[in-house]
Structure 1
């Protein structure tokens, strides 16, 4: 997993939304990864809490767009982050413009066509197919986690996969019709029906 993370973050300069790797030290029992130092940032949990009453949909849309583009870069480089959540998204805000940095590749793995069976990452945000079938795929999981992330940015209550499955109705307050359409595609219970990451970028939500 650490080799996968190292391969990606070494090339992080190709996507500004991925934290860069400064150096790697291989010790006897562990690998130390020295990452770039980020100033004046906060994670998306704190950012959304502080800006709860003022954050606009176009700002959220831009954040989600940056995350998806970073995820596309990850998967093209063969790296599955596996733990996309608000705690692992850092935000820098300058003159009303938000810049994303995805951090914490400690749960990452190589992208593969075959399913994964051992879940690593935040268990509460694992995709529903893991709980029903005990297996999951890289891209469908990333899409699911992006959907949960968006849902929680625009919902009165923070939910995880368990709560999403158990609720009879899932409503996302204050989000436009196109935004709700985007979220619902990410959060399809059948993983085979979820869009690919690159197809998410073509959603009409990003055109308005």
Structure 2
């Protein structure tokens, strides 16, 4: 596999079609989502009548040619073809200004919607166990192929259906990198609430970086609260660097102690001490149903909708609202999640420092704070 020095794959096998996209697909309904450099639309394949999601990615962004970033995303999707929990890539088209990824359509929307839902719509612990097993099975497969996602969060986990609760699909591989024993990747990428301490410290990234995000993701799915979210980015990053997590019964009311133990095995500052995806799949919590007296976590009745920067308007299951970047986070939405994205945006330049690269020092750099 051909790779650049920063872990981006530069060679793909998928044929890039150059005939007009509209010759083979009909766009239907309104947009599923829009960002600065991408738009996602539902489409019907004329030959089969099947529904897909078309992700239109601009090749030039802020005056720079970003075609190779898109090639890397395609290569990662190719390598995950046999992975049942990664969104399937169907075809690729290219025009003078865009590359179009034709993807599997996951009609159930983001799991984020249920994380912030009212009590009767929220996940039960039993739901979270099933979905966490699927997420970890998918991520374990990625990690065996030396692929690190680097932006795992509820907005990037879709459902095949919302009612009944379907299976998960991991999406948005715009930040993904391929790791090997030779390549050392240090980058400031991700979404503030979900980034691991090693990202803030500009230390080498690894599969353990994803495992931290899965710990945060599980916390959010069970409680509806973001464990590290502060009043501003500086406080959020300080909470992450100090691993300042609330495991109190107030937060985890109605949630089993095994679930808390599972999260604690992941939210560890030292990446080498975190459980791997394979180890997580053997954890007792994922191999036992919750206690019969467990109920959906009650916090969602009292928790303000703004605590995850999510607007009160709900997103429909099949056509989520067009995404809008959160002003507090000031992130660049270079890569748009398909088919819908929550308010916490991320992108290629989410934490961009320009040259020279961000210095290796323990304190949080001003560039991340302002």
TM bracket (short chain): 0.7 to 0.9
Map of 1:43 onto structure 2: 110
CA contact (8 A) 2:220 2:227 kept: yes
Normalised to the residue count of structure 1, the TM-score between the two structures is 0.85
Q: Which has the larger radius of gyration?
A: 2
Residue 116 of structure 1 corresponds to 185
Residue 205, structure 1, aligned to residue 285, structure 2:
yes
Task: State which of 72, 82, 93 in structure 2 corresponds to 1:14.
Answer: 82
CA contact (8 A) 1:127 1:144 kept: yes
Does the Cα contact within 8 Å between 1:11 and 1:20 map onto a contact in 2?
A: no
Superposed displacement of residue 64, structure 1: 0.9
Equivalent position SS for 2:116: helix
Q: Is the 8 A contact 2:160 2:166 kept in 1?
A: yes
| Secondary structure in structure 1 of the residue aligned to 2:167 | strand
Q: Which runs of 5+ in 2 are unaligned?
A: 1-68, 229-235, 289-370
Residues matched between the structures, number = 206
Per the TM alignment, residue 207 of structure 1 is displaced from its structure 2 partner at its CA by 1.6
Cα separation, 1, equivalents of 2:259 and 2:242: 22
- Going from structure 1 to structure 2, the CA distance change for 1:167 and 1:78 (only over 3 Å counts) comes to closer
Structure 1 residues 59, 15: CA separation in 2 closer, same or farther (over 3 Å shift)?
same
SS at structure 1 position matched to 2:166: strand
For normalisation by structure 2, the TM-score amounts to 0.50
Which residue of the partner structure matches residue 296 of structure 2?
none
Deviation at 1:59, TM superposition (A): 0.6
Unaligned runs of 5+ in 1: none
Residue of structure 2 aligned with 1:138, choices 200, 206, 211? 206
The answer as to whether partners of 2:148 and 2:179 remain within 8 angstroms in 1 is yes
Whether the aligned pair in 2 keeps the contact of 1:82 and 1:141 (CA below 8 Å) is yes
Q: Is the 8 A contact 1:24 1:34 kept in 2?
A: yes
Work out the CA distance in 1 between the residues paired with 2:225 and 2:105.
32
1:67–1:102: 8 Å Cα contact kept in structure 2? yes
Say which is worse superposed, 21-30 or 96-105, in terms of deviation.
21-30
